[in-house]
Amino acid sequence: MTPPTPSAAAPLEVTDESVEKPIASGSPKGGESRSPGRLAWKRFKRDRTGVISAYVVIFFFVVAIAAPLIAKLYGKDPYTTYASQDPSLLDAFSYPAGPNGGMSSQFWFGVEPQLGRDVFTFLLYGIRTSLGIAVAATILTVVAGVVVGVTAGYLGGKTDYLVGRVIDILLSFPSTLFFIAFMPVVYGIFVAPDDNIPTWLRATALIVVLSTFGWASIARLLRGQVLGLREREFVEAAKVTGAPPMRIVFKELLPNLWTPIIIQSTLLLPALVTTEAGLSFLSVGIIDPTPDWGVMIARGAQFYSQDITFMLFPGISMVLFVVAFNLLGDSVRDALDPKSKR
Amino acid sequence: MFRFLVRRVLGALVILLIISAVTFWLFYAIPRDPAMMSCGKNCTPDMLKQVRHNLGIDHPVPVQYWYWLKGIFVGRSYGDFGNCSAPCLGYSFANREPVLGTILDRLPLTLSLAFGSAVVFLIFGVGAGMIAAVKQGKWQDKLASSGSLIASSLQIYFVGYIAMYFLVSKLGILDNPSYTPLTHNPVKWASGLLLPWLVLALIWTANYTRMTRSQMVETLSEDYVRTARAKGMSSRTVFFRFAWRGAMGPIVTIFGIDLATLIGGAIITESVFSLQGVGRLALDAVNKSDLPMVLGVTLLSAGAIVFFNIIVDAVYASIDPRIRLA
């Protein structure tokens, strides 16, 4: 390649800028040029599986966001025990009186055994809680991973070594066990031993614990990427022209890292959804009166042998979401990085 | 090889030391009485006093940690509660037993669960992946790919109950999950654990199918495989002796890590099937705020992960001569 003389460096950087902007925006409206972002979008639109699963995923998010509105139109809420108002909903053994878990025109997804809450709104609000926590944890994890990974990779030397060892240790932590072991620690910091733990604190603690043990693998990946990019001509050129480190990180490195960052995020989100539900299932995360996917499955587990219908709703909806999101992730990966093999 | 092992084992011990220190410190960072936490829910004032004394609450945390560490090598006395001989990982005041003994009691179940399901998912996963690689683009391939996509999205806390409902309650094909030691009655051991094995395997197989397929597809297109074919070797020899051997490395790697994860306690699996293994022990210990037990199980799980990593690296090098242990 051309030596990094100032005259050669300047055009190099200019061409680089023209490439990076559309990637960063990632939208199809990036002008008429065939930018990488636009090409990826075109590839994605051709992928029928990807588009369909995108619609399914969007459907879940819309349902989650609009849960209060839907509940209002439907006329019920997830907290009221309808059986205490209308005892005929449950039979003598506290199981739904109607067939199929008491599904009816009034209770679309049936009635919860024992307490007699409405399954439909409970599920809607449950999706809302679970997705909310998972999205927040994903964002926090990715941001932390990117910041640490890029810093370590760019600075190199002692910082890199130290961060590398911390990552090594974090990755040898048995994760589920640590999630469970450290939830009480996080609660303990904020709440006196015998006080009730408010729901917002449970959610926050989940987000904090999930991200604390999640950022390491992303950081490791990005560190490797930055190590490769750091030696490339355009970064050298930027350095020669006297660009401050911040500018190099944000304008030169980060635009080239969007693909791995997006790919990692699409892998992370469904994993965090299921982990969050798993913790709530073990009742170390969100607990009962608050609707949540995991709470609902834990409830269903108490009477699954008598009334399996209740369990099917949270279970199947979660499988559907995770399958759709994984398919979407695969398509996004293919679109952004067509050379990669799966 | 020897130098590699020594270095890696030393590194692993350092990591375990740090993990135990972090766990220790984090539990003491909570503004609660650590004696209360270690003592458990049914704590009498006498016990509390004893726990305080044994934990050495009057000492700063690093000193307490030092006592704990020393206990591993020289054992520790817990006054009226009895002694804890040489490899002493602490004393669970909630269970009134040394931690190590309890863990060793629970370990056979967890190991049975881990190795039993590993056998199933390794056979099915690798088998399906190989078939998919041979029949690339045909229906077998598509079936394996879509099947593994769905299977990997399933969760044990859902599928486990569905399987128990249909296979145990409704059809009565399988036994309710239970544990009988292998040495007592091998048939009962297998029949009691069959359902958890199958459910665990269903979920974990997918990863191996995908991995085997992509690795096989890659190695089958490599030059050395083509050369072997060109020399006129039978396609079976080429497939198993050449391509599979080249593809095995990454699969061994994830298998080692997965096995370590399973040995460290399949907490959710054991909860779903009501099996009293190490995972359940950990969950109960956390709920009872039984710090010594949490610390012990954490160390076991982390140890499994760290040491399986070493084993994997060593095995990898012996499978694939291109890799050299550095």
Q: Is B17 on the interface with A (CB under 8 A)?
A: no
For an interface test with B, the pick among A57, A170, A177 (most B C-beta atoms closer than 10 Å) comes out as A177
B187 with B38, same domain: the answer is no
pLDDT of A13 over the 60 cut: no
- Residue in chain B closest to A323 (alpha carbons) equals B153
Q: What is the pLDDT of residue B97?
A: 79
The total of structural domains in chain B comes to 2
B75 with B212, same domain: the answer is no
Over residues A220-248, the pLDDT tens digits come to 999 988 888 888 888 888 889 988 888 88
Task: Mark yes or no for CB contact A311/B161 under 8 Å.
Answer: yes
Domain boundary among B88, B123, B154: B88
Question: Is B287 part of any domain?
Answer: yes
Each domain of chain A, given as residue ranges in start order, spans 48-336
pLDDT (average), residues B28-51: 66
Q: Coil, helix or strand for B13?
A: helix
Who has greater pLDDT, A238 or B37?
Answer: A238
Question: Is B11 part of any domain?
Answer: no
pLDDT bracket for residue B243 (50, 70, 90): confident
pLDDT (average), residues A247-255: 86
Question: Is B243 part of any domain?
Answer: yes
pLDDT of A146 over the 90 cut: yes
Per CB-CB distance under 8 Å, the chain A contacts of B161 are 297, 300-301, 304, 308, 311, 315
Alpha-carbon gap: B318 to the closest alpha carbon of chain A (Å):
24
Instruction: Please give the model's pTM, rounded to 2 decimal places.
Output: 0.83
The partner residue sitting opposite A188, judged by closest CB among B30, B161, B169, is: B30
- Residue in chain A closest to B297 (alpha carbons) equals A177
Mean pLDDT, chain B, integer: 82
Domain boundary among B55, B88, B121: B88
Question: Is B265 part of any domain?
Answer: yes
Cβ contacts of B155 within 8 Å, gap of 6 or more: A274, A277, A278, A315, A318, A319, A322, B203
Per CB-CB distance under 8 Å, the chain B contacts of A172 are 15, 19, 302, 305-306, 309
CATH superfamily of domain region A48-336:
MetI-like (1.10.3720.10)
pLDDT bracket for residue B99 (50, 70, 90): confident
Alpha-carbon gap: B17 to the closest alpha carbon of chain A (Å):
10
The partner residue sitting opposite A177, judged by closest CB among B27, B158, B298, is: B298
B227 with B306, same domain: the answer is yes
B235 with B199, same domain: the answer is yes
Highest-scoring range by mean pLDDT, A243-252, A270-279, A299-308: A270-279
Q: What is the pLDDT of residue A144?
A: 94
Q: Is A327 on the interface with B (CB under 8 A)?
A: yes
B58 with B163, same domain: the answer is no
Q: What is the pLDDT of residue A5?
A: 39
Contact B277, B287 (CB under 8 A): no
Per CB-CB distance under 8 Å, the chain A contacts of B18 are 169
B247 with B195, same domain: the answer is yes
pLDDT bracket for residue B39 (50, 70, 90): low
Q: Is B172 on the interface with A (CB under 8 A)?
A: no
Question: Is B264 part of any domain?
Answer: yes
Q: What is the pLDDT of residue B265?
A: 67
Task: Tell me the C-alpha distance between A314 and A321, whole Å.
Answer: 10
Q: What is the pLDDT of residue A36?
A: 78
The partner residue sitting opposite A188, judged by closest CB among B31, B165, B309, is: B31
B41 with B118, same domain: the answer is no
Task: Mark yes or no for CB contact A319/B150 under 8 Å.
Answer: yes
Domain boundary among B56, B88, B120: B88
pLDDT of A8 over the 60 cut: no
pLDDT bracket for residue A133 (50, 70, 90): very high
- Residue in chain A closest to B303 (alpha carbons) equals A172
Size of chain B in residues: 326
Range of the domain at B69: 32-88
Q: What is the pLDDT of residue A9?
A: 37
Highest-scoring range by mean pLDDT, A95-109, A243-257, B178-192: A243-257
B70 with B132, same domain: the answer is no
pLDDT bracket for residue A54 (50, 70, 90): very high
The partner residue sitting opposite A304, judged by closest CB among B155, B165, B265, is: B165
pLDDT bracket for residue B245 (50, 70, 90): confident
Range name among A52-66, A163-177, A190-204, A248-262 with the lowest pLDDT average: A190-204
The partner residue sitting opposite A177, judged by closest CB among B36, B210, B282, is: B282
Who has greater pLDDT, A232 or B93?
Answer: A232
Strand partners for A96: A90
Domain holding B161: CATH number?
Answer: 1.10.3720.10
Q: What is the pLDDT of residue B325?
A: 59
Helix runs in chain A, H state only = 6-25, 36-46, 48-65, 67-74, 82-85, 99-102, 119-155, 157-172, 175-190, 199-212, 215-230, 233-240, 245-247, 254-281, 293-302, 309-336
Contact A316, A109 (CB under 8 A): no
Question: Is B26 part of any domain?
Answer: no
Task: Mark yes or no for CB contact A184/B23 under 8 Å.
Answer: no
H/E element holding B268?
A: helix B267-272
